[in-house]
């Protein structure tokens, strides 16, 4: 949903101002250059621009920050997508020998889109969102962030697999592709600007993952499966996977608020029937009778849990239908294809969403519970904020006089002051904090590189 103060017709006038005075080019280059540890890393990165009238330009690449900045100021893209690091400069892909141009590596990325939850939300549909269904994005971030950082979950899974199967190939496959690569630390979470969130896993090990490994990670994290025609999209086996048990602890925390209160899944008849369809037939019939006498959703859910407990006590095969219901309504729904492909493009942080005008901003997980997508600034808002009177105007003029000694540095400092005067500032600060952590991971590699280049 677009902000009331945003008019998409003004975008051609606002984008030049945004790119000239507000876009954080310095931090952006610092991120994608990864400390310059690997030669030509930034130069071989693909960018794609979507221009006015949906003109799509792929295989853009740039030698320096200044070159990137110059081209963006010239083209004023409506949307920026980031792609892989290639074997050659992407803008020269037509000049290299056939078959030699290929993607080498890229961040491991995840795309969670609210439209994939339409079957479990009644407040909104399609591209619309509201505070009632935004909880789903909070749950998704909590579950995936813990999974990607928590190598101990994978170790538990290995023990679990060893108990269930003698297939040593499977165990060793998981060991090499998960145990070495989970325990990621450099995760950048970004609001898309409209209806979803993206995760960029920036650790070196993640960037070097093969297509097979990316597919394995994506499948490992996927649980809700099946299209629109599939009624029951979560099926648990006995014993429950350790990773799913860990995820359930988070889902159980949010389920009453999201499903029972905000979506009222056990209140309206249509939604009650959808929930009952996910249960064994004998349980469904009994609960239909019980629900005649009990109307409160919280009490109805207690009846469901009581039935599940009773069923588990009498059945030889595990019965986890209440857990399957919670997971179907709340567990993250990934666009697996986005994560699998090394050459897949994903919308860039600080890109402007043309429909809503909102900036695609980094998210601070310490403030995740209070994150409000409708409070994210629009391009209209931050451009208007530039025109507001400054405090200490005379002091600023004095500073500008000194800065004329070095026009290039002066322009950069003015740009820094510009975004700091707007509501974009706190999001750039989050980005800076992320980059500081990322830089610490480069330090060892840079020292090693420096030592190797010394002459003795």
C-alpha–C-alpha distance, residues 430 and 435, integer Å: 9
For 192-205, letters b (16+ CB in 10 Å) and e give: bbbbbbbbbbbbee
- pTM of the prediction? 0.88
Q: And the tokens for 367?
A: 């403030």
Active site includes 113? yes
What is the DSSP track for 266-304? TTSHHHHHHHHTTS-HHHHHHHHHHHHH---HHHHHHHH
Taking only the tens place, the pLDDT of each residue in 246-299 is 999 999 999 999 999 999 999 999 999 999 999 999 999 999 999 999 999 999
Taking only the tens place, the pLDDT of each residue in 48-85 is 999 999 999 999 999 999 999 999 999 999 999 999 99
Of 46, 69, 203, 418, which one is the catalytic site residue?
46
Active site includes 111? yes
Active site includes 367? no
Partnered with residue 362 across adjacent β-strands are 190
Q: Which runs of consecutive H residues, i.e. helices, occur in 190-296?
A: 204-207, 211-221, 242-255, 269-276, 281-293
Q: Which runs of consecutive H residues, i.e. helices, occur in 315-405?
A: 321-330, 336-340, 379-385, 393-403
pLDDT at 443: 76
C-alpha–C-alpha distance, residues 309 and 11, integer Å: 57
Q: Which runs of consecutive H residues, i.e. helices, occur in 331-392?
A: 336-340, 379-385
Of 69, 105, 111, 418, which one is the catalytic site residue?
111
Under DSSP, is residue 40 helix (H, G, I), strand (E, B) or coil?
coil
Taking only the tens place, the pLDDT of each residue in 103-118 is 999 999 999 999 999 9
Give 410's pLDDT tier (boundaries 50, 70, 90).
low
Of 69, 105, 113, 119, which one is the catalytic site residue?
113
C-alpha–C-alpha distance, residues 304 and 143, integer Å: 24
> Residues 224, 139: contact at Cβ < 8 Å?
no
SS percent in the chain: helix, strand, coil, step 5: 55, 10, 35
Higher pLDDT, 183 or 48: 48
C-alpha–C-alpha distance, residues 107 and 184, integer Å: 12
Give 441's pLDDT tier (boundaries 50, 70, 90).
confident
> Residues 29, 42: contact at Cβ < 8 Å?
yes
Question: What's the average model confidence in pLDDT over 147-169?
Answer: 54
């Amino acid at each position: 949903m677009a902000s009331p103060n945003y008019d998409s017709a003004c975008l051609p006038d606002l984008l030049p101002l945004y790119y000239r005075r507000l876009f954080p080019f310095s931090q952006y280059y610092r991120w994608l250059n990864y400390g310059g540890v690997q030669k030509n890393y930034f130069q071989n990165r693909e960018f794609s621009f979507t221009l006015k009238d949906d003109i799509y330009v792929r295989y853009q690449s740039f030698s320096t920050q200044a070159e990137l900045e110059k081209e963006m100021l010239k083209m004023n893209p409506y949307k920026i997508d980031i792609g892989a690091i290639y074997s050659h400069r992407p803008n020269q892909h037509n000049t290299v020998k056939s078959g030699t141009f290929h993607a080498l590596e890229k961040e491991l990325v995840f795309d969670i889109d609210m439209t994939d939850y339409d079957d479990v939300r009644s407040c909104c549909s399609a591209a619309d969102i509201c505070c009632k269904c935004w909880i789903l994005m909070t749950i998704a971030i909590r579950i995936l962030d813990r999974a990607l950082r928590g190598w101990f979950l994978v170790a538990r899974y290995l023990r679990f697999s060893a108990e269930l199967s003698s297939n040593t190939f499977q165990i060793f496959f998981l060991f090499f592709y998960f145990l070495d690569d989970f325990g990621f630390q450099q995760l950048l979470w970004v609001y898309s600007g409209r209806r979803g969130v993206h995760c960029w896993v920036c650790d070196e090990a993640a960037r070097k993952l093969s297509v097979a490994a990316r597919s394995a990670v994506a499948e490992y994290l996927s649980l809700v499966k099946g299209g629109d025609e599939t009624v029951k999209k979560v099926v648990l086996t006995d014993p429950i996977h350790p990773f799913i048990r860990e995820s359930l602890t988070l889902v159980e925390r949010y389920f009453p608020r999201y499903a029972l209160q905000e979506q009222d899944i056990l209140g309206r008849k249509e939604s009650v029937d959808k929930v009952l369809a996910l249960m064994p037939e004998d349980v469904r019939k009994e609960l239909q009778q019980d629900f005649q006498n009990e109307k409160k959703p919280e009490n109805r859910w207690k009846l469901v849990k009581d039935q599940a407990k009773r069923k588990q006590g009498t059945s030889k095969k595990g019965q986890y239908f209440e857990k399957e219901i919670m997971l179907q309504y709340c567990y993250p729904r990934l666009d697996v294809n986005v994560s699998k492909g090394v050459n897949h493009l994903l919308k860039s942080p600080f890109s402007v969403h043309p429909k809503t005008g909102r900036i695609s901003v980094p998210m601070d997980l310490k403030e995740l519970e209070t994150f409000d997508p409708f409070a994210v600034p629009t391009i209209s808002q931050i451009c208007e904020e530039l025109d507001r009177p400054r405090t200490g105007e005379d002091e600023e003029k004095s500073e500008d006089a000194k800065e004329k000694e070095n026009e290039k540095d002066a322009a950069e400092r003015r740009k820094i002051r510009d975004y700091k005067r707007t509501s974009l500032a706190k999001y750039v600060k989050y980005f800076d904090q992320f980059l500081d952590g990322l830089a610490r991971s480069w330090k060892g590699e840079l020292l090693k590189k420096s030592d190797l280049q010394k002459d003795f």
